[in-house]
Chains A and B, each alone.
Chain A
Amino acid sequence: MHARLTGGIALMVLVLTAVPLPAHHAFGSEFNVDKPVSLKGTVTIMEWVNPHSWIHIDVKGPDGTVVNWMIEGGSPNSLLRLGFTRNALLPGMEIVVEGYQAKDATNKAVGKSLMFADGRKLFLGMSEPGAK
């Protein structure tokens, strides 16, 4: 009986975790999963706006040309609850973005994973906002 129930719970978990979070909009149609990008840049502005935060970064190409990219992230309301404020990510900070480029082929991407230049995750794992 117990084994059967455990199986039932395991299956339920499988069913639940397979259900996508009700995302605000269709990410699969906004961004191109066949166009992964890896960007290293300097923050110019972070837009603390709903439904999604947008981080603007200046990315210097091999020829020295600087291109501004917009990176889409999650709701700032949740970041505030984790203790992050508008001072957590300031202009001039260098970050590394792994993500996917927008389907309209402009310089926009979803920031799947965001890190500081030393490899620390941008928002996760910091006990104090902006702590080194």
Chain B
Amino acid sequence: MKTPLSLAILALMVVLPPLAAAQTWKPPRTPDGHPDLQGFWTNASITPMERPRELGAKEFFTEEEAAEYRKRTLVPASVAQRGGTEAHYEFTQFGLDRTQAQVAFSLRTSMIVGPEGRVPPLTPEAQKRNAERAANLKGHEFDGPENRGIQERCLVWGSEGPPMLPPGYNSYLQIVQTPAYVMILQEMIHDARIIPMDGRPHMPGSVRRWLGDSRGRWEGDTLVVDTTNFTDKTNFRGSRDNLHVVERFTRVDENTIRYEFSVADPTTWTSPWSAELPLAKDKGPIYEYACHEANYGMANNLRGARVADSTPKDPR
């Protein structure tokens, strides 16, 4: 029996360098003098968005604790644990297991920064809004394709954002820079975000876009991207069309971009909040993910529901 391929490429580790090294490192630059962020990157992560309450205000692991956490986390999980149901394929057999992917490691105990490490409470208005949406959908989840989530409909992946979060698998993105634009392509699910860098204002509020309307600028060696004009169809932790995102990309060494974001929506959260995760360099390429091309799952789900509709209910 040959060594399984999965073990041979087990968890290629990328760790943020010591602070001293980061201070002396000089980023490569594009011809117009800005740091060169171009290439392929992964945001695959084992860091949770919110810090488990047991860790209190502890924002960072020590190297030793982080190593232990990695060892415990990067083990294959059962189908039911990861798929949410037994009726799913084995992730290990399709290279979708975290143990088989390159992971961008960090010493953070949560992506959300600060002593709380958690998403602030929803406003009463947002709680009411969410409850109404859930009540309206209840019992109608499989009535038609419009009732299914936008990810299942192959419109936008749930993690695409912005802010961009790890999609769970195929966690790769590509950055291309010109003096006038920055382009970010995420493999999941193959949407290119084209970001003007010329200081033009945001589109009028009447124009709404799936990935919002992004505008970029340089603050020193950091690329700052400001995004508004989302639709009410996307849902980032309860926030929809009023979401305002500010992302910050800073290349801190040859293999790492520090990706920070701050989000605000007074109609959803009681306060703005911020998070940080690394993007680790990858050799690429990224592949097309033509989700619509063979989205048989949608039709199968709806047909399954129609069969259930026509099956007499068990009176028990």
The interface of chain A, by Cβ under 8 A from chain B, is: 5-13, 15-18, 20-33, 47, 49-54, 70, 72-75, 77-83, 99-100, 102-106, 108, 110-114, 121-127, 131
**B151 part of interface (Cβ distance < 8 Å):** yes
Number of interface residues of B (CB under 8 A): 71
Checking B8, B82, B296 against A20 with a beta-carbon cut-off of 8 angstroms, the contacting residue is B82
Contact yes or no, A25 B298, CB < 8 A = yes
Contact residues of B between 59 and 103, Cβ < 8 Å to A: 65, 68-69, 72-73, 75, 77, 79, 81-96, 100
Q: Which residues of B contact A12 (CB under 8 A)?
A: 48, 52, 54-55, 69, 109
Q: Which residues of A contact B148 (CB under 8 A)?
A: 25
The interface of chain B, by Cβ under 8 A from chain A, is: 1-6, 8-9, 46, 48, 52, 54-55, 65, 68-69, 72-73, 75, 77, 79, 81-96, 100, 109, 142, 148, 151-152, 154, 158-159, 167-170, 187, 189, 287-291, 293-298, 300-301, 303-308
* A/B pair count, beta carbons within 8 Å: 209
A23 CA / B69 CA spacing, docked (Å): 24
Contact yes or no, A81 B86, CB < 8 A = no
A62 CA / B95 CA spacing, docked (Å): 35
| Closest A residue by C-beta to B95 | A78
Q: Which residues of A contact B308 (CB under 8 A)?
A: 103
Contact yes or no, A26 B93, CB < 8 A = no
| Closest A residue by C-beta to B68 | A9
Checking B5, B93, B291, B300 against A74 with a beta-carbon cut-off of 8 angstroms, the contacting residue is B93
Q: Which residues of B contact A30 (CB under 8 A)?
A: 87, 297, 300-301, 304
Q: Which residues of B contact A123 (CB under 8 A)?
A: 93-95
Checking B72, B89, B142 against A29 with a beta-carbon cut-off of 8 angstroms, the contacting residue is B142
Q: Which residues of A contact B159 (CB under 8 A)?
A: 22
Q: Which residues of B contact A16 (CB under 8 A)?
A: 46, 48, 73
Given A12-B55, A75-B96: A28 and B87 interface contact (C-beta under 8 Å): yes
Given A13-B73, A102-B304: A25 and B95 interface contact (C-beta under 8 Å): no
Checking A18, A79, A110 against B88 with a beta-carbon cut-off of 8 angstroms, the contacting residue is A110
**Pairs A–B under 8 Å by Cβ, sample size 16:** A15-B48, A24-B151, A25-B148, A27-B85, A29-B142, A29-B305, A50-B288, A54-B294, A54-B296, A83-B5, A104-B303, A104-B304, A121-B93, A125-B4, A127-B5, A131-B2
A81 CA / B93 CA spacing, docked (Å): 13
Contact yes or no, A29 B88, CB < 8 A = no
Checking A13, A52, A99 against B69 with a beta-carbon cut-off of 8 angstroms, the contacting residue is A13
A123 CA / B90 CA spacing, docked (Å): 11
A51 CA / B73 CA spacing, docked (Å): 26
Contact yes or no, A75 B94, CB < 8 A = yes
| Closest B residue by C-beta to A49 | B294
Given A32-B87, A73-B89, A74-B93: A26 and B152 interface contact (C-beta under 8 Å): yes
A43 CA / B257 CA spacing, docked (Å): 44
